Amino acid sequence: MSTHAALIHKQTTYFRSRETLPLAFRKQALKRLADAIRAYESDIIQALKQDLNKSEFEAYSSEVGIVLKEIRFMLQHLSKWARPRKVRTPMTHIGSSGKLLYEPYGVALIIAPWNFPFQLAVLPLIGAIAAGNCAIVKPSELTPNTAEVLAWLIGETFLEEYITVVLGGVETSQSLLAEKVDKIFYTGGTEVGKVVMKAAAMHLTPVTLELGGKSPCIVHKDARLKLAAKRIAWGKFMNAGQTCVAPDYVYVHEDVKEEFLTELMQATALLYGADPLADDTYTRVISAKHFDRLQRLMPGGEVVFGGKSDRDSLRMEPTVLVHADMGHSLMQEEIFGPLLPVLTYTDIEQVLQFVNSRPKPLALYLFSESERLQRHVLEHASFGGGCVNDTVYHYTSPYLPFGGVGSSGMGAYHGESSFQCFSHRKSVLKQTTLLDIPFRYPHLKNGLKRI
Ligand code: NAD
């Protein structure tokens, strides 16, 4: 038996002991996780600095803080969500009652990416714990310091047969995927998502895929441009654009293009300073390979502002481009870096047609004061989730299920959806023995005569 097979066997045995099932156990585990995160907070923040040069503010607000908030929310609501739910029965089922019971899948495998390496490994884990599963977390190899702190924190807090972190790269991930687990939760790129789904198919394992894509941002002529520019600059350039729900490109109405670009430049300077490369708290690009890929995207448009970079520190200025070549990789690949092409339109149908002719994006953002236009865009474009008059913020509401559609993913999590994502919903009909209505039986008096 391989090491990974042995680990999964060990967790399966533990799961079958039913120890993880009581609500009190799950809540206690969530509290211990929160305590451990608080205890290791400065190590996590330091690791994020080493891996991505994240500032303390970004590390707390977009990694540690989000995770602690989700645990609090889960603890507040878990008892209610986990309760069996009564459902109605039709007239033909008179005397019986229906209910839904939530049960954990068993052993969950969570594979995480590098861009928010702490948050995206721990957020699904919270759902797995809340639902009563055992879990194996495989963090990204590209953020080794954060992965190590996570392994250490989890190792000190939980038994290996309950929750553990397995460190390693693609081979480790593939070796884990080759074994049978009971649930796979994967966050990462679309192409690898297909590899994961193929592996899941071999064992018919339920899978949640949190993938990426090119998320459009539409700025209509009636938008509050100053605010729109600030919210777009924030959502795009945080984490140096390495955010799955960052606006990938902007479509601005031709009439307000110049004003919008001016506002965008001012907003970017306000948020990231006049010289972001001189600011040692500005997040870097994850690796030289990713940096070089972003450099190759740059000639796909004409730089309006930004454009400078430093390969030694792997940092690139927030960069806005116009006149993008639609056939260039800049407009074909998910950018996933601090480059923002700005395109123009005169007719919203042109934008909708463009968006709908492409793989379904993870997010879509619309800035407009018109309720009619908002309704029209929301009804005519398909995307995972998004915002009207903001960017990225939908991600941070635990009341909104988060997930993609089509090539941006399947399934959703956060808040109650996380609990459901790691639970099987068992439908049960409880029949009365006090009466037995004959119509379902063939050949009885008042029974079914023909179908
Ligand atoms: P990635 O797909 O390269 O890697 C993610 C994880 O998969 C890592 O743990 C890696 O070790 C593993 N992996 C890589 N190749 C593999 C293979 N061939 N077989 C099995 N496992 C493999 O993704 P990434 O570069 O870390 O992340 C960037 C992508 O993730 C972007 O497309 C982004 O949009 C997407 N993303 C999505 C979300 C979301 O919530 N939907 C969040 C963050 C990132």
Query: What pLDDT shows up at residue 235?
Result: 97
User: Using an 8 Å Cβ cutoff, are 288 and 315 in contact?
Assistant: no
With a 6 Å cutoff on the Cβ, whether 153 touches ligand 1 is: no
- For residue 57, the CA-to-ligand 1 centroid distance in Å is 24
**pLDDT the model gives residue 324:** 97
- Within the chain, how many helices (H) and strands (E) appear? 16, 18
The pLDDT of residue 440 is 83
Q: How many residues are recorded in the chain?
A: 451
- Report the b/e string of 125-155 with b at 16+ CB within 10 A: bbbbbbbbbbbbbbbbebbbbbbbbbbebbe
Judged by DSSP in three states, 429 sits in strand
Beta-strand (E) ranges in 254-384? Answer: 302-305, 309-310, 315-316, 319-322, 339-345, 363-367
Across the strands, what pairs with 343? 251
Atom of ligand 1 nearest to the CA of 177: 20
Residue 16: helix, strand or coil by DSSP?
helix
C-alpha 189 to ligand 1 mean position (Å): 4
Distance CA 431, CA 390 (A): 50
Q: Are 136 and 172 in contact (CB under 8 A)?
A: no
What is the value of ipTM here, to two decimals?
0.96
**Does 52 sit in the ligand 1 pocket, CB within 6 Å?**
no
Specify the pLDDT at position 252.
98
Q: Whose CA is nearest to atom 13 of ligand 1?
A: 170
* Pocket probe mutation, ligand 1, options 123, 207, 244, max atoms within 8 Å of Cβ: 244
Considering the entire predicted model, what is its pTM? 0.96
From the CB of residue 289, how many other CB atoms can be counted at a distance below 10 Å?
Answer: 9
What are the backbone angles phi and psi of residue 329, rounded to the nearest 5°?
A: -55, -30
Q: Report which ligand 1 atom has the smallest distance to the Cα of 196.
A: 20
Q: Low-confidence residues of the chain, pLDDT below 50? A: 451
> Tell me: the pLDDT tens digits for 345-398?
999 999 999 999 999 999 999 999 999 999 999 999 999 999 999 999 999 999
- Ligand 1 in contact with 138 (CB < 6 A)? yes
Q: Rounded to the nearest 5°, which phi and psi values hold at 267?
A: -65, -40
Q: Of 63, 70, 179, 210, which residue is the catalytic one?
A: 210
Q: Is the CB of 167 under 6 A from ligand 1?
A: no
Residue 359, judged by CB atoms within 10 A of its CB (0-12, 13-18, 19+), counts as middle
Determine whether 191 is an active site residue.
no
Let me know if 244 is a catalytic residue: yes
CA torsion sign, 118 to 190 to 286 to 266?
negative
What pairs with residue 210 in β-bridges?
Answer: 187, 409
**Which residue minimizes the CA distance to atom 14 of ligand 1?**
170
Ligand 1 atom nearest the C-alpha of 190 is 32
| pLDDT for 248 | 98
Ligand 1: residue whose CA is nearest its atom 27: 188
How much distance in Å is there from the Cα of 343 to the middle of ligand 1?
Answer: 28
Which residue segments constitute the domains of the chain, with CATH numbers given? 3-211+408-428 (3.40.605.10), 216-396 (3.40.309.10)
Residue nearest atom 6 of ligand 1, based on CA coordinates: 113
Catalytic residue among 58, 63, 179, 244: 244
Which alpha helices (H) appear in 305-370, and where do they start and end? 329-332, 348-356
